[in-house]
Amino acid sequence: MSAESRSLVAELIASRGDEQTCRARLEASEARAQEFEPWLKAFVYRPDSYETRNVAGKPLAGLPIGVKDLMATHDMPTTYGSPIYAGFRPAEDAWIVERIRHFGGIVFGKTVTTEFAWREPGPTVNPWNRLHTPGGSSSGSAAAVGAGIVPLAVGTQTVGSVIRPAAFCGVVGYKPSHGKVPSAGVHPLAPSLDHVGFFARTVEGAAICHALFVDAKPDAIAHLDAWTRYFTARRPRKLGVIRTPFWDRVTEDQKANFDATLARLQAAGATLVELDPFDAMPSMLDALQIILQVEAARAVGPLAADYPDLISQHMLALTTAGAAVPAEQYEAALALQGRLRSEFAGFIDGCDALVTVPATDAAPGGLADTGDATFCAPWSFLGVPAVTVPSGQSQDGLPLGFQVLGRQGDDLPTLQTAAWIETALR
């Protein structure tokens, strides 16, 4: 389950004109899936064969990529994790899927999602220990990368659905700034909070996704010199350490790992400054819940009404609560979100990035609960870029992570800081 040692960019550049290498890479993923999928259950659908013609010479050069089953694929079933859509095939691809194919990537399969990206879990287990959750809602995407089946996967995050499962599965998770990746063709849960994000084995893999799907700069991976000019690890001048008002929820294992990681970064040359918790954070979580409830009621409520026998109690409770929220309370929550997004830039001023934990602990046991999203929720509410990198293991041998946060729109610098942290932790 370890991160790949070779540079993914170097591998893509080397294989770009070689269809045979592209085919060999795909076959390796197929073999890995055949070995792991009987118990991992990361994919809800994989095609019987793949079209690899005409991918050589393109930036992703036949790279197998997992796609969360919340995203429309015209040639594969798209169920959104719900029996309501069993066998459904959309007329066209989601924007992110079309871009993957445009750049020569191969949609290796549809990865398991919780129901409409909310709490009802699917069958996927954690690749490190099958008795534990992989996290949610992007369960299959995190597990598929964590098991080494695919080098990249796409997910979504409304509250904590990229960063938390990435940490639980021992991989890199990257949530771009809100709205940086178009969500066309992705089933909404709460559009004011929904983000499209990525899973990778290394920060470099996440940066490739950023170059192609956020910056729209495929020339950045045309050759190694271009990549070096575009993306290099960058040692931060100052990191702001934020423990938040919810630090009592963090386990001793996670706290010890966080403090040990900070010590290693300081030894590597980073200046650390302890920041007071963002005062408005508790009210942020209350406002997030209001926005989530109201917008989920709009997005999924009509389905819950039409198919009461096919909707989970989790979703029914969410949409019912949302339908009862007064309009003025919802508008106040949106106003708070807009105001605090502006204020956050001042809060982070003087720091290259903030750092905190991605979750309260390693992956919980069992599959009924996908984990506590408290340490992801504020950053989803603010819409700022977030990256989690593996930072060690719990006493039970499960992965732990370390979360890096940047200013709204400063996605590339945040990734560069995360890459330096990743290197310092090796």
> Would you call 346 exposed, middle or buried from its count of C-beta atoms within 10 A (0-12, 13-18, 19+)?
exposed
**3-class DSSP state of 129:** strand
| Residue 67 included in any domain | yes
Number of domains in the chain: 1
Give pLDDT, residue 53: 84
Measure CA 162 to chain center. Answer: 2
| Residue 194 included in any domain | yes
* Mean pLDDT, residues 146-172: 98
Q: Say yes or no to pLDDT of 4 above 50.
A: no
Split at pLDDT 50, 70, 90, the class of 388 is very high
| pLDDT tens track for 161-207 | 999 999 999 999 999 999 999 999 999 999 999 999 999 999 999 99
| Residue 114 included in any domain | yes
Domain range for residue 218?
A: 8-230
Computed over every residue of the chain, the mean pLDDT equals: 96
Split at pLDDT 50, 70, 90, the class of 3 is very low
Q: Is 29 a known active-site residue? A: no
Q: Determine which one of 15, 29, 82, 137 is catalytic.
A: 137
Cβ atoms of 377 and 328 within 8 Å: the answer is: no
Measured between alpha carbons, how far is 209 from 65 in angstroms, rounded to an integer? Answer: 11
Q: Is 217 a known active-site residue? A: no
Measured between alpha carbons, how far is 255 from 362 in angstroms, rounded to an integer? Answer: 11
CATH of the domain at 41: 3.90.1300.10
| Residue 210 included in any domain | yes
Measured between alpha carbons, how far is 16 from 32 in angstroms, rounded to an integer? Answer: 22
| pLDDT tens track for 265-288 | 999 999 999 998 778 899 999 999
Q: What is the pTM of this model?
A: 0.98
Measured between alpha carbons, how far is 15 from 300 in angstroms, rounded to an integer? Answer: 43
* Mean pLDDT, residues 225-238: 97
| Residue 31 included in any domain | yes
Q: Is 161 a known active-site residue? A: yes
Split at pLDDT 50, 70, 90, the class of 1 is very low
Split at pLDDT 50, 70, 90, the class of 20 is confident
| pLDDT tens track for 86-121 | 999 999 999 999 999 999 999 999 999 999 999 999
| Residue 273 included in any domain | no
Residue entry with tokens 């290796």: 108
Percent of residues, the chain, with pLDDT higher than 70 = 99
The closest alpha carbon to 376, from 353, 398, 360, belongs to 360
Q: Determine which one of 15, 138, 161, 192 is catalytic.
A: 161
> Would you call 191 exposed, middle or buried from its count of C-beta atoms within 10 A (0-12, 13-18, 19+)?
middle
| Residue 264 included in any domain | no
Q: Determine which one of 41, 58, 68, 110 is catalytic.
A: 68
> Which one-letter amino acid corresponds to residue 416?
Q
| Residue 3 included in any domain | no
Q: Say yes or no to pLDDT of 21 above 90.
A: no
